[in-house]
């Protein structure tokens, strides 16, 4: 992993978990010092994060974490409701025996995951592990890149309300049936479960946002 990749991953995770809050200014010199890298890798990372819509730069003003608007939930979910089922069905169809074995290992890790005693960061990491494993198994790099980007945006929204969400254990354990459908090569079931999972996520977050 290059220094730029390292800086990208660490700044991205701070943005996703809201350690860097929406609207916060990002100072490349301060970030470089914090991460133990030079300013050049940080600047490269910030350019990639701008493409990901996680930061925005303004001429002569600086770089800021993008704000999270309520309308973002509908826009992001609209795209994920179309593409997540596509990725799940494709993964079920094209996965090799080795990839199915890897997904079985991911499923085992989710089954053993102790959500009751997990931190927010650990819950998010578990969720991300499942989705990224399916994206990778779908073997379409363009679809994978797109879904990673929108999954990241969804994660930021989730972090805004995660402490108020019920059914977190159920949400995480929904991955078990989804992974099994992909492992079994059941395209229709994998697509249906992926769609239900994303719709449930949107409804849960929406119920919190509009109750506030």
- Out of 80-84, 85-89, 159-163, least confident range: 159-163
DSSP element (H, E) containing 64: strand 62-65
Q: What pLDDT is stored for residue 162 in this prediction?
A: 78
Which tens digit of pLDDT belongs to each residue from 89-132? 999 999 999 999 999 999 999 999 988 888 878 888 899 999 99
User: What proportion of the chain, given as a percentage, has pLDDT over 70?
Assistant: 97
The yes-or-no verdict on residue 1 having pLDDT over 90 is no
SS3 140: coil
- 0.95 surpassed by pTM: no
Which tens digit of pLDDT belongs to each residue from 129-186? 999 999 999 999 999 999 999 999 998 888 888 777 766 777 788 899 999 999 999 9
Q: What pLDDT is stored for residue 167 in this prediction?
A: 63
Let me know: does 76 contact 34? Beta carbons within 8 Å. no
Instruction: State the Cα–Cα distance between residues 199 and 203, nearest whole angstrom.
Output: 6
């Amino acid at each position: 992993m290059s220094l730029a990749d390292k800086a990208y991953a660490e700044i991205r995770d701070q943005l996703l978990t809201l350690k860097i809050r929406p609207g916060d200014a990002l100072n490349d010199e301060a970030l470089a010092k914090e991460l133990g890298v030079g300013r050049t890798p940080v600047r490269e990372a910030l350019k990639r994060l701008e493409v990901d819509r996680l930061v925005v730069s303004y001429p002569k003003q600086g770089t800021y974490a993008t704000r999270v608007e309520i309308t973002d939930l509908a826009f992001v979910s609209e795209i994920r409701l179309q593409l997540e089922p596509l990725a799940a069905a494709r993964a079920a169809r094209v996965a090799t025996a080795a990839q199915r074995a890897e997904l079985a290992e991911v499923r085992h890790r989710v089954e053993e995951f102790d959500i009751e005693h997990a931190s927010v960061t650990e819950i998010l990491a578990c969720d991300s592990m499942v989705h990224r494993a399916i994206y990778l198994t779908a073997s379409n790099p363009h679809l994978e890149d797109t879904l990673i980007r929108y999954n990241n945006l969804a994660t930021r929204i989730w972090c805004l309300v995660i402490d108020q969400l019920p059914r977190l254990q159920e949400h995480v354990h929904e991955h078990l049936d989804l992974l099994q459908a992909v492992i079994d090569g059941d395209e229709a079931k994998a697509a249906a479960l992926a769609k239900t999972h994303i719709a449930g996520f949107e409804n849960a977050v929406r119920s919190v946002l509009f109750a506030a």
